[in-house]
Amino acid sequence: MNFGFTTRFAPSPTGEMHLGNAYSALFAYKRADKSRGGNFLLRIEDIDSSRCKSKFETSILVDLEWLGISSDTTIRRQSEHLDDYALAVKKLKNQGLIYPCFCSRSDINAINNAPHKSRITVYPGTCRNLDRSEIVDKISVGKNYSLRLDVKESLNRLGKITWYDRKKGLQAVKPELFGDIIIARKDTPTSYHLAVTVDDHLQNINLVTRGDDLEPSTGIHRILQKLLGFSEPEYEHHKLIFDNDGERLSKRNKSATISSLRSSGIPSYQLIEALLDGNDERLLDLLDRTAE
């Protein structure tokens, strides 16, 4: 009998692995509860070919091995599964829920920089109601476009959507937080949201764990799951790891890379314990030792 979960760690190989990533990986590994039959899977989220590098994937795998973590199945690389995403795009297209968006990044940034900006840019729907001839004209002069989901219409059809968060209980999806999200980017025939939703389904993930910063994405993924007829996983969003100045430990904080901690000679079990028992003092002490 399997009383564990199937969880995953899904890093994007855009830099060295840092403490926050290690915590995320350990969290998902622990939640899989392998002693009760759970599975832990690894997925490389490498659809952004301009930012993802195979050298970073290699270093992430070395770091995970040092942390004693490995995938229970073959590692899934998103760049090798573009057909799966194309099929999902087609399904959404057939439902009449997708439209081309010709807005550039600077158009969107202009919205973001407007006075009274909110932290999250919500696409205002500029291209939602373009008529057919306008679309044909833009495409015929070679304008690139992304594909967006008509979220309002999706919710009209689906009704109220929720997700189950293991810590917070039932949560309602709040579409005003994200608006019409991108389903396929201009340069890639998928987006983060679509690829994650399809992969979690195909990898039979029944507990999605990730950082609090990605919580707003969960509502988007629930809408896509419903539209695509996928089953619903449970969710758990975990805390982010902070450094001395209260700043999120990120790839910018060099001292916090796992490879620097490894080469400083600390045993991996010390880092694992410090991360998992939530003892910030212990963690900061380890960081200080690498800085010496």
Minimum distance, C-beta of residue 220 to ligand GLU, in the bound complex (Å):
11
**Which CB sits closer to ligand GLU, 45 or 57?**
45
DSSP string, the chain: ---S-EEEE----SS--BHHHHHHHHHHHHHH-GGGT-EEEEEE----TTT--HHHHHHHHHHHHHTT---SSPPEEGGG-HHHHHHHHHHHHHTT-EEEE---HHHHHHHHTSTT--SSPPB--TTTT--HHHHHHHHHTT---EEEE-HHHHHHHH---EEEETTTEEEE--GGGTBS-EEE-SSSSS-HHHHHHHHHHHTT-SEEEEEGGGHHHHHHHHHHHHHHTPPPPEEEEEPPPB-TTSPBP-TT-GGGBHHHHHHTT--HHHHHHHHHTT-HHHHHHHHHHHH-
**Which CB sits closer to ligand GLU, 10 or 224?**
10
Minimum distance, C-beta of residue 292 to ligand GLU, in the bound complex (Å):
30
Residues that bind ligand GLU (CB under 6 A): 10-12, 45, 196, 210, 214
Minimum distance, C-beta of residue 9 to ligand GLU, in the bound complex (Å):
8
**Which CB sits closer to ligand GLU, 10 or 149?**
10
Minimum distance, C-beta of residue 29 to ligand GLU, in the bound complex (Å):
14
**Which CB sits closer to ligand GLU, 9 or 66?**
9
Minimum distance, C-beta of residue 214 to ligand GLU, in the bound complex (Å):
6
**Which CB sits closer to ligand GLU, 189 or 216?**
216
**Which CB sits closer to ligand GLU, 31 or 210?**
210
Minimum distance, C-beta of residue 199 to ligand GLU, in the bound complex (Å):
9
